[in-house]
Each structure stands twice: as C-alpha cells, then as structure tokens.
C-alpha cells in the first residue's frame, strides 16, 4: 500500500509518501520558523495561512520525488489532532478532498501516535511492548505501548510541557525564537555551579510531570545574576540538567513499574543530546535499549503521519466524508489495530 501523509498541526508543513513494501519514498518539509520569529512564538492565524500556501506545492514535489502518479496512491493520511484547529483544518481539508477526488480511502491520524511510531521508520525498530516518552513543545507523557492502538497512559505533564518550559525560559533569557534549541546550545558553554533548580514531582510517587516551577526558578536566577554571557550559560546549564534529570527519573520509574527495558523517545525534545546521553546510560544499566527516530523525524513531519496512517489503512480503518479535526484528542481513545 502506498500512502500520502500530510502533517499541518502547528508551524511545519510536512508531506511524505510511504510504501508498505519499499518504505519511505519521499519526504518534504517546510518550517515556518522565520515567519513566527518576529513574534517570539507561533501565531495560529499566520500558521494556517502559510499551510494553505505550502501544502499543495509540497505534495507535488513529494509526488515527483517518489516518481509517483495520483493513480498509484492507495490512501491518504492527514493529522486531525491534537494541534491548532486552523492549521489542522488545512491538512484535513486537502487530504480528505484529494482522497475523494482520487477515490481512495482517507484516514485521520493522531499526531502523537505519529511521533510514537516514528522510530519504526528506522532500520533498527523496537519490538512491542515498550515504554514511550513523548516529549515536545506541546506534550510530555509516558505511555506503555503493547501494540498499535494499545496504549496505557502512565503519566503526563499537569502544566507546561518540557519543550514549552525550554521555550519560555529561553524567551526570559532573551534568546531568539525558537528558544529551546538555542537554550540547549547555550547550555553547552555552561559550567556546574552552586545554582540548583528543583526536580519537580520527583520527591513523591507517580509518573506525572510539572515544569512550570522551573521557569519561575530560572526567572529568579536571572534577576540575581550578572546577566553576562557566562552567567546566562550557567543558568541554561542548570535549567537543562533539571529538566533532563526529571525526565530520566520518571523514565526509570516507568520502566521499573512496567517491568520493561525497551524505551522509545520521540518528539522535538528527543533531539536534545544531554537527554539522549543520560537515557542511554539508564537503559544500559537496566540491560535494555533506547530507540529514537532520526533527528529530522524528531520534530513534526509527514513521514510519521504517512507511516502511522498506512498501518491503520492496511487494517481497513478509514474516515467518512465528514471533515473532522480534534484539537484535543486523548491518545487512549484510539482503536487497536
């Protein structure tokens, strides 16, 4: 089965073509970073308008890259949620309309399931069951995965997501948008000092997260600092260590609680090198293994949507003619495959 995948949940337009026998045939991605940089964050209306401009041209480029005609497409998968409703509507309308015109089935894909399954695009794939850490600008959650659509939520953030905390703290520090990667880069110049940030909710049982307090701690540290480059780097270092330590502690608990030793990490923050190093050490200590998508598939992309959609389309799942988006969509509501 050959599937066209469309991702427009936020500020990146991702298009891909995935073949169940030959693998990923094409991958096109357009980032709106420059568009939103002047505003210090994503402006939903501008994001939606840019998706309108970019989606069809990127589909044409992906079809050319894959040397594929419309008659060779067997199904279309589009992100239906979670995400910005206007941005979701663009991809959903385009995907559902093309499916109707080409007379092929269409499928609404859950954005986080796309991230969760992204490591399956790699040569070395995790076997079920495993624990997944989904960590991005909009979500932080731990999920036990026994199969596609067989998800048990173990814990999630009760306020800011980890990536959101990175971005907000970077903004406090005066770093340009997107702030998270810039803060991580600045942290490489930092040094250990007596500055210590809390590891939220690690002193109590459970697998939920809370990162809003770290932003406040960073703000207080900034007000007391000399505001020179080294002081900022030291604060970035301390902040990153606090986030990474918190994520690692919760992952250890989740693996021990489930009795599993395979960990999948996906979402934009999964590209953080310090997090990767500490999770590698964690899984090695448990005689297990950690799996990631390649860096270009850590952030939002069409390849993960095409792959996730292909699995469900092959199982006979598809949508009706109604175009429905779900800005909020609990992962556990997905049917099993």
287: how many CB neighbours lie within 10 A of its CB?
Answer: 7
Query: What is the rounded CA–CA span in Å between residue 260 and residue 245?
Result: 20
Query: What is the rounded CA–CA span in Å between residue 100 and residue 195?
Result: 58
Decide: 258 and 128 in contact? Cβ < 8 Å: no
DSSP state of 119: G
| Cα end-to-end distance, the chain, whole Å | 16
135 is in an annotated binding site: yes
86 is in an annotated binding site: no
Q: Dig out the tokens for 43 from the structure.
A: 């402006």
210 is in an annotated binding site: no
136 is in an annotated binding site: yes
Decide: 190 and 182 in contact? Cβ < 8 Å: no
3-state secondary structure 229-292: HHHHHHHHHHHHHHHHHHHHHHHHHHHHHHCCCEEEEECHHHHCHHHHHHHHHHHHHCCCEEEC
**Shortest CA distance to 138 belongs to which of 176, 119, 114, 165?**
165
134 is in an annotated binding site: yes
101 is in an annotated binding site: no
167 is in an annotated binding site: yes
27 is in an annotated binding site: no
Three-state secondary-structure class, residue 332: helix
Q: Which residues are annotated as a binding site for Fe cation?
A: 111, 115, 300
**Residues annotated within a binding site:** 111, 115, 134-138, 167, 180, 272, 300
Annotated binding site for substrate: 134-138, 167, 180, 272
């Amino acid at each position: 089965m050959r599937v066209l995948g469309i991702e427009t949940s936020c500020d990146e337009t991702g298009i891909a073509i995935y073949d169940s026998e030959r693998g990923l045939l094409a991958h096109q991605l357009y980032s709106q970073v420059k568009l939103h940089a002047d505003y210090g964050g994503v402006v939903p209306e501008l994001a939606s308008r840019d998706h309108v401009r970019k989606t069809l041209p990127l589909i044409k480029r992906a079809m050319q890259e894959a040397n594929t005609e419309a008659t060779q497409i067997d199904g279309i998968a589009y992100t239906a949620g979670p995400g910005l409703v206007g941005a979701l509507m663009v991809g959903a309308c385009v995907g559902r309309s093309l499916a109707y015109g080409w007379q092929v089935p269409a499928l609404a894909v859950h954005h986080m399931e796309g991230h969760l399954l992204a490591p399956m695009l790699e040569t070395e794939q995790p076997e079920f069951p495993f624990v997944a850490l989904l960590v991005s600008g909009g979500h932080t959650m731990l999920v036990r995965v026994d199969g596609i659509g067989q998800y048990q939520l173990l814990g999630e953030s009760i306020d800011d997501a980890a990536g959101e905390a990175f971005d907000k703290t970077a903004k406090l520090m005066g770093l340009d948008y997107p702030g998270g990667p810039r803060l991580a880069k600045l942290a490489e110049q930092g040094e250990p000092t007596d500055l210590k940030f809390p590891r939220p909710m690690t002193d109590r049982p459970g697998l939920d997260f809370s990162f809003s307090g770290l932003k406040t701690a960073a703000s207080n540290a900034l007000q007391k600092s000399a505001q020179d480059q080294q002081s900022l780097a030291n604060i970035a270092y301390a902040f990153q260590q606090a986030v990474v330590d918190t994520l690692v502690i919760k992952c250890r608990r989740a693996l021990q609680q489930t009795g599993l030793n395979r960990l999948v990490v996906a979402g934009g923050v999964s590209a953080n090198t310090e997090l990767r190093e500490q999770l590698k050490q964690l899984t090695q200590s448990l005689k297990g293994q950690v799996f990631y998508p390649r860096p270009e598939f850590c952030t939002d992309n069409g390849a993960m949507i095409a792959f996730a959609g292909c699995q469900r389309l092959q199982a006979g799942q598809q949508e009706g003619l109604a175009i429905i988006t779900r800005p909020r969509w609990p992962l556990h509501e997905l049917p099993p495959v």
